[in-house]
Each structure stands twice: as structure tokens, then as C-alpha cells.
Chain A
Amino acid sequence: QFPTGSSSTNPFL
């Protein structure tokens, strides 16, 4: 399962 990126470190989310 792909970890849904945490918006804290991901500038695209």
C-alpha cells in the first residue's frame, strides 16, 4: 500500500 504522503513534508500534497 502506497503511503499517502504527509503534506507536512510533501510540497505537492
Chain B
Amino acid sequence: AELAWAVKSEDKAKYDAIFDSLSPVDGFLSGDKVKPVLLNSKLPVEILGRVWELSDIDHDGKLDRDEFAVAMFLVYCALEKEPVPMSLPPALVPPSKR
């Protein structure tokens, strides 16, 4: 059975709104645009570095809409004291990247 994406659709809509507010170029947000948003969470930089590694699935230095949603999901988990995993759980890989 298709593994449901861990990001709920209502959360995805919220993350998409943030994504669009950061004026993506060709549907991508570069690291310098995403960095202030994630730093806003007041999480330690090494945590954010790991969040980035896990969400920048194609390691192109930019996040697309789905990768951005993964990053936001991981940040919210970390804010609720959920440790950021060392590798991306399969349920968190966006269906578009499987």
C-alpha cells in the first residue's frame, strides 16, 4: 500500500503559504532565503544543518515546495522536543521524490 506522507495536507497548505511568501524562483527557494525562516525557530544551527541535509533530498542547495514542507515538518518536530532523525524516515520522503 502506498505509504501516506507524514506531512498532513492542512500542514502542507500552511508550509506552501510560507514557501510562496518567500518568493521562490522557478519553484525553488535558495538556502539564503530559507535560512532566516529556519533560524527564526531559535533551534541550534547544528540541528538546522541536519534539518537541511534531510530536507534537501536532491542536495541541490535549494528546496522545492515538497522539500520545504519536509524542512518545516522537521523544525516543528524539533520544537516539540522530537529529536531530528539521523536519516529521513520513508514516511517523510515526499511522494514526488520516491
Q: Is the CB of A10 within 8 A of B86?
A: no
Size category of the binding interface on chain B? 10 to 19
Interface membership of chain A positions 1-13, coded 1 if the CB is closer than 8 angstroms to chain B and 0 otherwise? 0110110111111
Count of CB-CB pairs between chains A and B under 8 Å: 36
Least CB distance from A8 to B in Å reads: 7
Could you tell me the distance between the alpha carbons of A11 and B59 in the complex, rounded to whole angstroms?
12
Q: Is the CB of A2 within 8 A of B35?
A: no
Interface residues of B (CB under 8 A from A): 31-32, 34-35, 38, 45-46, 48-50, 52-53, 56, 59-61, 86-87
Given pairs A5-B49, A10-B49, A10-B53, 13 additional interface contacts (CB within 8 A): A2-B50, A2-B53, A2-B87, A5-B52, A5-B53, A6-B59, A9-B31, A9-B56, A11-B31, A11-B35, A11-B61, A12-B48, A12-B49
Interface residues of A (CB under 8 A from B): 2-3, 5-6, 8-13
